[in-house]
Amino acid sequence: MNFLQLNWDGLTEAVFFSAGLNYIRYFFMAGLVYYLFFHRPPTWLKPLEISKSKRPLPQNKRDVFYSFLSISIFGIVGILTYMMEKAGWTQLYKNVDEYGWAWWFLSLPVMVFIHDTYFYWTHYLMHNKKLFPYFHKVHHLSKNPTPLTSYAFHPLEAVVEAGIYPLLAIIIPLHQGALLIFFTFAFAYNILGHLGHELYPAWFIHSPFGKIFTTTTHHHQHHQKFNCNYGYYFTIWDRLIKTNHQDYEIFFRKNSTDSSQIKRLNISEKNVLKK
């Protein structure tokens, strides 16, 4: 298939949705959340900050710089996915009637599950000592992450991260509107992972949801402890492969919105927090 012979109608729209929207999401969503949580935080937020240590001054500039590069790469991958669609290589569709509303809604959790699996294993592999310096080291330069860190990838890692989108478009039928909603949800969840503040209450960790879903503490601990907590939305793979940090629940209880939890920790748990 010669891409130069394709019908390029809709290319402008594709550029906007693949690159433009990502810039808007980052600079408005991540930027606004950063402003609210770190630049002008209300008094009630301060106790919920996970790490009290100061961030190096260059961190924000570095995060924004690499995020700009990453978003540009995401945009290029989006254009390539558009070209693949025009060439008939994807299962993207516009008419809901083709698969019905039931699949439209079901496709959302299916995409989340596939993305979580893709992310866990690519993330795990990028922590290999031979791959880490070339792919994932840039992201880990921010040991105390903020929402601005959410897209701060080395260009090679950005290619890997963006690869989930053409993969989804190839392997399952997806309505373009459902895919757009998934993009937005995935980014919002990424901001949550780098929020630097634990908003969930203490009881969450002991609930069925707390055993399945990741939290801000879960990913923040990954940035600080390194070889643990690789999941994106779920802790399922971390628990199965035994890569969940052994003290994750203790740290969560310390960081949760119920500050009285720290007083309820036993002596051994308090010793863990001092390490």
Name the token pair of 215: 């939290």
The domain segmentation of the chain, as residue ranges, is 3-197, 201-275
With 60 as the cut, is the pLDDT of residue 178 above it? yes
pLDDT of residue 85: 87
Q: Which residues pair with 213 in a beta bridge?
A: 234
Closest by alpha carbon to 77, among 10, 185, 168, 152? 168
Percent of the chain with pLDDT over 70: 87
Sign for the CA dihedral angle at 4, 8, 12, 17 comes to negative
DSSP letters of 66-112?
Answer: HHHHHHHHHHHHHHHHHHHHHTT-S-EES-GGGTHHHHHHHHHHHHH
How far from 262 is each of 73, 85, 198, 207, 274, CA to CA, in Å? 43, 53, 14, 19, 12
Average pLDDT rounded to a whole number, residues 55-63: 89
A 10 A CB-CB count for 207 gives: 12
Confidence of residue 4 (pLDDT cuts 50, 70, 90): very low
Average pLDDT rounded to a whole number, residues 109-138: 97
Rounded Cα distance between 135 and 159, Å, is: 10
pLDDT of residue 15: 65
Please name the residues in contact with 80: beta carbons below 8 A apart, sequence gap of 6 or more. Answer: 166
With 60 as the cut, is the pLDDT of residue 5 above it? no
Q: Are residues 226 and 207 in contact, defined by beta-carbon separation less than 8 angstroms?
A: no
pLDDT of residue 239: 96
Average pLDDT rounded to a whole number, residues 113-131: 97
33-47, 100-114, 241-255, range with greatest mean pLDDT: 100-114
Q: Give the pLDDT confidence of 223-251 residue by residue, as tens digits.
A: 999 899 999 999 999 999 999 999 999 89
Q: Give the pLDDT confidence of 13-30 residue by residue, as tens digits.
A: 666 666 777 888 898 999
A 10 A CB-CB count for 218 gives: 25
Q: Give the pLDDT confidence of 67-108 residue by residue, as tens digits.
A: 999 999 998 898 888 888 888 999 999 999 999 999 999 999
